[in-house]
Structure 1
Amino acid sequence: MIDTVERRPWPGYVAKVSAVLVIMLGAIVLLGWIVKSPPLIQLLPNLPPMTRNAALCFGLCGAALLTLVIDGPRWVVFLCAGSVAFVSLTTIIEIVFRVDAGIDELLGSSFISVNLRSPGRMAPLTAVCFAFSSVALMLVPRPFTIASSLLVGLSGSIVTAFGAAAVVGYWGGVTLAALHTSFGLVILGVGMLALAWRVEGHPMPTPPWLPLSIVIAVLTGIVGLWRALILGGYAPFSILPTVVLVVGCVIGPIFGLTVFLAQRGHAQAAALRRSETFLQEAQHLSRTGSFSWDVSTDIVTFSAQAHRIYEFDPGPISFASIARMTHTDDMLLFLDMASRARRGEDLDEEYRLCMGDQSVKHLHLVAHQCGANENFEYIGAIQDITDRRLSEEALDQVRSELARVARMTSLGTLTASIAHEVNQPLAGIVTNAGTCLRMLASDSPNVEGARETAKRTIRDANRASEVIKRLRALFVKNAANNELVDLSEATREVAVLLSNELQRSQVLLRTKLADALPPVLGDRVQLQQVIMNLLMNASDAMASVDDRPRQLVITTTRDDDNSVRLTVEDVGVGFLPDEANRLFEAFYTTKNRGMGIGLSVSRSIVERHNGRLWAVPNSGPGATFSFAIPLSTESPLGVGGGVGDGVTRGPNRQHAAGNHDD
């Protein structure tokens, strides 16, 4: 994968200006050769001229540089830079091997040859600079990469350093190139540096080639000074020239290393600031703040988001000020959490804050210990989960309303059973009241008999009252109320309520309810709703069964995983394998008149009790539905009374909670 980098705007402007200036320089000198104007060619009569080849190379290098800056056609870059590479490399071959390749006066004879060793030939320094720049420009890929930035930057550094050394060398008489050639090389090198800087990657504030460029520039200046001393009459390796070379060789790398270290520190600081910005934005978006707590001093340091959550001013915070913000109902929990923290335990708790405007915030805190011995601190995170809690409360209200709707739907189905349950005690009341009146109206009132009859009347009235009370508990809209529930006793109450309806449907109900079953913590009415729904669904599943007894078995038992299980087994139509995954979908039903919400609501009720509801097909006809609720931790766990081998557990394969007929 190509490591592409982002571009910066201002270096592009510098590169464009440099390219245009270099093109203009080459064009002006070439015009001077054409019109034979020495001032344009050599500036002053005693200075060496810029050769035609040098002027042509300036124009072509500038064109290639400008094409790269404006993202022009690649063939233009290859044509221009390739031509410069051919001319410069051929000139270098001529100089090194002392041959004449016929390229020096390719564009015409030179009528000005001041300080030129060969007419029309570029100075060695000029040829080397054009070779570096042309090859680098040709090798720049598209899109730009960090590697291409390094190549162009180093080449630009060399060209700039050589050009600057040539300009300075005029005062020592060590430069063979023309003065405007030297300035042109500086401008070309600056343009290449700007191009390299333009494509440098973020967040590096300075380019990686800068230290090496510093070394090249220092060494170039030292070599120029050494050569000037030699031309001034010193032997090449006499004391002074040698000292200059040695000092230069030491100072150059030191300067480069200094720039590299400063650059790396700057880059690390920039990366740290960028990382900190990312962290702050992530904390702000997730509403999560971080903190550290020095347990020995009780000083807490908050991140910016943690300050916003607590609405504290920036700065260190005392543990006491945090405790004062804690909701009074959660104060014991908070103090217990602090006590466990002082013992070195990890923390994972939810608690509430009471803000200054009396609003309540719900927080989730996670922290772990860092350090050892007596001097340790906690590092942790605090998340504002107020919106989530409010959403969960709203969802619970909707679920409760849906559950009540499901119960009211069941009310219509149970009308006959309700009427029978109420009519029986009412008929007894009427009969007993009439008997009592006759006993008291006789000539010799039977007071003792009337008293017994009145007692039977009271008994029947209480019986009717209990029926109405159970119905009211199931169908009246009340808030959820968690209590310790004996699942066997709750099942018996539902069985009594449904007994007449099951008899009318010719369903034989068998109960295998464990005695002394450990209690579970939950809402009694909601759990009874689940039981009633399972029983009614099992009864409906057997409505079309005529070839076998309609037997319904309900079992309660204690599981080995510290939970209580209720199982309802029928011999009805069961469910198809491909229906297993849809059993719990809301509004999915196999009944002609079903709403498809009963057992979907049952599943949500069981899950809110930290339990699970599932179904398995029987080995024979019918299906078995079960749910398990964890035992309550608020009371000692008694030894549950198990049932015999007749408990239906079903095969090992189990389908996710659901119902086969809602």
Structure 2
Amino acid sequence: MSWITVVWSMITAACLSFAAVHLLVWLHSRDATANLLFAISAGAAGVLTMLELVAFRAVTPAAYGEALRWMHVSVAVVVIALVWFVRAYLGAGRLWLAWAITGLRALVLVPNFVAYPNATFGEITAVTSSSLLGDAVSVPVGEPNPWRALIQVGMLLLLIYVVDAAIGAWRRGNRRRGLTIGSAIVAAALLSAVNSQLMVLGLLPGPLTGLVFLIIVAAMGWELSLDLIRAGELARSLAESQQRVELVTRAADSGLWEWDIERDEVWLTEGVRAWIGIDVSERVTLDRYLRQIQPDDREPTREAVFQAIEGGNEFRAEYRIATPDGRTRWISAQGMVLRGAGGKPVRLRGVAMDVTARKRAEAELELQRAGLARLQRASAVGQLSVMLAHELNQPLGAILRNAEAAELILQKEPPDLEQIRAIVADIHSDDQRAAEVINRMRALLRHRSPQLETMGLRDLITQVAALVRAELQARQATLDVSVPDDLPDIRGDRVHLQQVLLNLLLNSMEAARDLSEERRGLTVEARQRGDEQIEVAVRDRGPGFPIEGIANAFDPFVTTKIDGTGLGLAISKTIVEAHGGHIWAENNPQGGATVRFTLEAAHDRDTA
């Protein structure tokens, strides 16, 4: 076997090997456009080398011309792929020049197949023999093709394009890439032009394109191979980082997740997969993940996801999932939408935290708060007990007197039935009065969970006013209630809101205890604040809050009373904030204090 055959076969094998490797890279990652273009260029260079070997062995002008004709096709593929490789890999190069070179190389193929034997020679008159690497090779003799000028112009444009792209890459910081690729292509282009001219002059057996393009393929392959090495190192580093992140997130009872919106694929750290019982190897879609969420929380979570995608950007949700061992786990998730060109949502990425312990603590705290509030209500009713007993004595005494009168009437012959009916009606009315007093106390003292309902604020205040009526009379105080007729309803727990008003009214009565009778007037006012809130104000004319203590008035165990617990205002604050409102105190310019709190307006009156 001759040296020419060995060397050119080795060049072909190297080019095709490069092409195969980088084609596999592109098949694995379809966004690796530079690898695909390199594979095309290297593959075409391999075919070109084999065609050149065929030309070396041609014995007739026709055979040499046919080999040269197909070599021009391979050269066109190499050059076009090379142009777009430069643009994809270096991220530089003028687009109009790229299209100009592409169009010019395609145009060269017209005379190559239509008008002449090939684009290099207008006519090959003879084939002579010459020596290369100790072997005899064919050398064409003929007239140059006038269309060769297009090849030369295209080569000049390619040089300009590559130099410009290399400079652009250099300026952008890709100095090694720009220098390696740029210098290899420029050197190969100049060498190819020189060899082609020497071949036309009969000084070379061929353009030696195999050797020339091997320079480019080697440079391109070197750079892409370095990229593959760096990608491998990055993958290992990423795997190590992921392991570290996994350790950190597990220690913090949290995990990372990411939803690829276009592919509908959810990536989860191993910890999150373990929480929800999804195998590490299973592909997870959004619906698959949502199926792990308990039904009551599933739709609200889905709505939160799509609200973020449709323009909210931020995603927040808390939901329950059933673990593989049958327990319930609370998850708090929050994330951010990543958008691509034109604001199109591409990914939703965030963190999930196991907040089961927090939820349990909140539930226990709520039970303790409810118990404390119930005890405080009992304490408030205890303050009213003397007056409530007096209020009960009135209807009970009337019932007793009516019963004694009825007994005397029944002793008469015949008894006066009309009087008996009137007495029974009075007894029934007094019984209802006593029952109302008892029911009001029972409602405040009952151990119950919060029950939201829509109610009128005037009715709520009236009910509390009925509770404190006897206390007001005993203290010779008055209560003025001002509620507009068109005030929207509120939504909340009736007993808890009654407790807030009761606490505030008892505090106001206590503050006015040592005042003259004309200053013992209390006021409850309500007004609308905007479209969403109702403000309630309880005002007295007492000494007011100490200036240094007004900021801490709602802290637990803070009191100005000798026998106070310091829990009334603190519990009132907790109740108001649980209803989405705010409570604060202020001293009045004319004396006394006002405690104000807000509640959310219920626009739908029919939801109760």
Partner of 1:560: 530
Give 2:380's aligned amino acid.
S
Instruction: Give the corresponding residue for 1:326.
Output: 293
Kept after mapping to 2: 8 A contact 1:304/1:314:
yes
Aligned 1:217-256 pairs, distance under 5 A: none
Asked whether the equivalents of residues 573 and 621 of structure 1 are also in contact (C-alpha less than 8 Å), the reply is yes
Local SS of the residue matching 2:598: strand
Aligned: 1:285 with 2:239: no
Query: Any unmatched runs of 5+ in structure 1?
Result: 1-256, 638-662
Tell me the CA shift for residue 497 of structure 1: 0.9
| 8 A Cα contact 1:293 1:301, kept in partner | yes
Task: Determine which of 307, 310, 321 is the counterpart of 2:276.
Answer: 310
Q: Which residue of 2 aligns with 1:393?
A: 363
Which residues of 2 match residues 144-543 of structure 1 at below 5 A? 272-273=238-239, 275-295=241-261, 298-315=264-281, 316-337=283-304, 340=307, 346=313, 347-367=315-335, 368=337, 370-371=339-340, 376-543=346-513
- The letter of the residue matching 2:552 is R
The two structures, once aligned, show a CA RMSD in angstroms of 3.4
Residues 345 and 369, structure 1, Cα contact 8 Å, conserved in 2: no
Match of 2:560 in 1: 590
Name the CA distance, whole Å, in 1 between partners of 2:606 and 2:501.
25
Within a 5 Å distance, the mapping from 1:627-642 to structure 2 comes to 627-632=597-602, 635=605
| Contact map agreement 2:488 2:603 (CA 8 A) in 1 | no
> What's the counterpart of residue 569 of structure 1?
539
- Structure 1 pair 375/390, CA: closer, same or farther in 2 (3 Å)? closer
What do the CA deviations read for 1:119-143 (whole angstroms, capped 9, x no partner)? Answer: xxxxxxxxxxxxxxxxxxxxxxxxx
Report how far residue 488 of structure 1 moved.
2.2
User: In 2, distance between residues paired with 1:358 and 1:454?
Assistant: 62
Partner residue in 1 for 2:192: none
Q: Offset at 1:423?
A: 1.5
- d(CA) in 1 for partners of 2:402, 2:566: 45
Query: Could you tell which deviates more after superposition, 339-348 or 541-550?
Result: 339-348
Question: Relative to structure 1, is the Cα distance of residues 453 and 510 closer, same or farther in structure 2, using a 3 angstrom cutoff?
Answer: same
Aligned amino acid, residue 359 of structure 1: R
Paired position in structure 2 for 1:581: 551
Q: Give distance in 2, aligned partners of 1:355 and 1:271.
A: 32
Change (3 A) 1:560 1:319: closer
Say if 1:289 and 1:309, in contact at 8 Å, map to a contact too.
no
Instruction: Provide closer, same or farther for how the CA distance between residues 544 and 436 of structure 1 changes in structure 2, counting only shifts above 3 A.
Output: same
SS in 1 for 2:548: helix
Aligned residues: 386
SS in 2 for 1:577: coil
Contact 2:512 2:519 in 1 (8 A): no
Match in the other structure for 2:589: 619
Instruction: Report the CA distance shift for 1:377/1:582 in structure 2 as closer, same or farther (over 3 A).
Output: closer
Q: 1:351 deviation in Å?
A: 1.9
CA distance in 1, matches of 2:293, 2:269: 19
SS state at 1:459 partner? helix
Aligned equivalents of 1:267, 1:599: Cα separation in 2:
63
User: How far apart are residue 574 of structure 1 and its match?
Assistant: 0.9
Distance 1:436 1:261 in 2: 109
Give 1:529 shift: 0.6
Q: In structure 2, how many angstroms separate the alpha carbons of the residues matched to 1:634 and 1:388?
A: 33
TM-fit CA distance, 1:352: 1.6
Deviation at residue 353 of structure 1 after TM alignment:
1.5
Query: AA paired with 1:302?
Result: L
Using the size of structure 2 for normalisation, the TM-score is 0.57
Letter in 2 for 1:276: Q
Query: What's the CA shift for 1:599?
Result: 0.8
Provide, for residues 533-560 of structure 1, a one-character-per-residue CA deviation record: whole Å limited to 9, x for no partner. 1011111111122385211111122112
What is the DSSP-based 3-state SS (H/G/I as helix, E as strand, rest coil) of the residue aligned with 2:597? strand
**Structure 1: distance between partners of 2:550 and 2:345:** 58
Q: Which has the higher helix share?
A: 2
Cα distance, 1:261–1:335 mapped onto 2, change above 3 Å: closer
* CA positional deviation for 1:269: 5.7
C-alpha distance in structure 2 between counterparts of 1:259 and 1:340, whole Å: 44
Percent identity at matched positions? Answer: 30
Matched residue type, 1:284: R
- Aligned partner letter, 1:580: I
Partner of 2:110: none
SS in 1 for 2:506: helix
Structure-1 residue corresponding to 2:41 = none
Given the two structures, how large is their TM-score scaled by the length of structure 1? Answer: 0.53
CA contact 2:255–2:269 (8 Å) conserved in 1 = yes
Change (3 A) 1:635 1:508: closer
- The runs of 5 or more residues in structure 2 that have no matched partner are 1-222
Which structure is higher in strand share?
2
